[in-house]
Amino acid sequence: MLYRKLGKSGREVSILGFGCMRLPIKNGSQSAADILDPAKGIDEEKAIQLIHYAMDQGVNYFDTAYPYHNGKSEPLLGRALQGRREKIMIATKLPAWLVKGEEDFDKFLHEQLQRLNTSYLDFYLLHGLGRQTWSRMKELGALRFLDRILSDGQARYVGFSFHDDSRIFKEIVDAYDWALCQIQYNYLDRDYQAGREGLEYASSKGIGVVIMEPLRGGGLADKIPGELQALWDSAPEKRSPAEWALRWVWNHPEVSTALSGMNAMDQLKENIRIASEMRPNSLSAQGLALIDRVTDTYKKMLKIDCTACAYCMPCPQGVNIPQNFRLYNELTMFQDPEITFARYNRFLTPEQRAANCAECGECEERCPQHIKIMDELKKVHPALVR
């Protein structure tokens, strides 16, 4: 296992982090859609076996959050780590959207400490910050709360996970002495949300960068369209699509660790093997060119040429226009529609979905790509609603 420093914290973290959002489940297909189904319980025996194997192979960064697996992820990880707590680092996240008053900060933290069966957290993150949640967190005193839990030792380091554009990302980075941030990044999402610009900006400030969705929820690893698989097969180095995707992320020296939601032993073993080999800037020029060709081929499959610049936002009705278009594009880019349906129907609120468009036209006036947004939104909801 290879390790990198997590920014200014100086902590040595395994470049492979164990993400506890997609643990194996009981009575399910283990598809991404099933794993995200809150009605399906964790297969505790298999999950603990995976966690213990990962620890024995040198994985020392374990990431969870309050809502994962319908609230069951944190307690499972706490049970799995009994007697092994000092050997690893736990990162979990405050559910920022559930905080209604300043007293809720302590309420959730104490509940999470109990769930995880620990007296302290190595890393505590504000979960899912964006423009609106960041504004609320500041108003409610989140930064004072972070100062306090650092002072009293309930958290050793603090950070945030992020879902918005690079402009608000930089504002958040500059607002506090963060130890780490967690962003989505993969070869298809180079300019999505924080993107490469945010990755480099955070790193330049000494902030450790944790990558989520390096395989885009499994979309870059499984059920690859034929023309994309043919490109991978053309490489002299015979690697799985998952390996190419992980190597691309770890090729960036700014990346501290990449989280993988591993729910099967073969996935875990493959990822551990790659994480024992992949050093920064070690991909060949030919390998990087191949990944660029794959990226371009995926992009040609787009139904809507939206760059997710977010100039159309905020929508007066609350519609998340870039995310609606992104999910609509996924129907043709990937061959696992169930996970796309799950993301639209479970993770977008009714007001954020395309059907909430009131056709005011403000978004089209601001779109630099001149997309006929109102017409395109009319296609999204019928295609994705379930």
Residue range 5-16: average pLDDT? Answer: 97
* Per-residue pLDDT, 35: 62
List pLDDT tens digits, range 96-131. Answer: 999 999 999 999 999 999 999 999 999 999 999 998
* Per-residue pLDDT, 303: 87
* Per-residue pLDDT, 36: 61
Is 296 within the bounds of a domain? no
* Per-residue pLDDT, 34: 64
Quick one: 380 and 260 in the same domain? no
Quick one: 232 and 371 in the same domain? no
Q: How many CA atoms lie within 13 A of 94 on its CB side?
A: 30
Is 295 within the bounds of a domain? no
* Per-residue pLDDT, 302: 82
Quick one: 366 and 221 in the same domain? no
216 pLDDT tier (thresholds 50, 70, 90): confident
Lowest mean pLDDT among 89-98, 184-193, 215-224: 215-224
* Per-residue pLDDT, 26: 87
Quick one: 93 and 182 in the same domain? yes
Who has greater pLDDT, 27 or 101?
Answer: 101
* Per-residue pLDDT, 40: 75
Quick one: 193 and 283 in the same domain? yes
Residues 327/384, Cβ–Cβ less than 8 Å: yes
List pLDDT tens digits, range 263-281. Answer: 999 999 999 999 999 999 9
- Token duo for residue 33: 């859609």
Distance CA 92, CA 264 (A): 22
Quick one: 192 and 281 in the same domain? yes
Quick one: 271 and 353 in the same domain? no
* Per-residue pLDDT, 29: 59
Quick one: 68 and 196 in the same domain? yes
* Per-residue pLDDT, 366: 87
* Per-residue pLDDT, 286: 96
Quick one: 36 and 130 in the same domain? yes
What phi and psi, each to the nearest 5 degrees, are found at residue 161? Answer: -105, 160
Per cent of the chain over pLDDT 90 is: 78
Within 10 Å of residue 93's Cβ, how many Cβ atoms?
25
Quick one: 222 and 120 in the same domain? yes
* Per-residue pLDDT, 11: 97
Give the SS3 label for residue 3: strand
Which CATH number fits the domain that encloses residue 218?
Answer: 3.20.20.100
Could you tell me which residues come within 8 angstroms of residue 204 by beta carbon, excluding any fewer than 6 positions away? none
List pLDDT tens digits, range 68-104. Answer: 998 999 999 999 999 999 999 999 999 999 999 999 9
Number of structural domains found in the chain: 2
336: containing domain: 321-384
Quick one: 346 and 240 in the same domain? no
Say yes or no to pLDDT of 212 above 70. Answer: yes
* Per-residue pLDDT, 369: 76
Which pTM value belongs to this model? Answer: 0.87
* Per-residue pLDDT, 333: 81
List pLDDT tens digits, range 292-343. Answer: 999 999 989 888 988 777 779 889 999 999 899 989 988 878 867 888 888 8
Say yes or no to pLDDT of 39 above 70. Answer: no
Is 147 within the bounds of a domain? yes
What phi and psi, each to the nearest 5 degrees, are found at residue 52? Answer: -65, -40
Who has greater pLDDT, 302 or 254?
Answer: 254
* Per-residue pLDDT, 140: 97
Is 301 within the bounds of a domain? no
Quick one: 285 and 340 in the same domain? no
Beta strand segments in 85-223, E: 89-94, 121-129, 155-162, 180-184, 208-212
As a whole number, the mean pLDDT across the chain is 93
* Per-residue pLDDT, 32: 57
Within 10 Å of residue 292's Cβ, how many Cβ atoms?
12
Per cent of the chain over pLDDT 70 is: 97
386 pLDDT tier (thresholds 50, 70, 90): confident
* Per-residue pLDDT, 368: 72
List pLDDT tens digits, range 340-373. Answer: 888 899 889 999 999 999 999 999 998 877 899 9
Residue range 198-215: average pLDDT? Answer: 97
Residues 113/156, Cβ–Cβ less than 8 Å: no
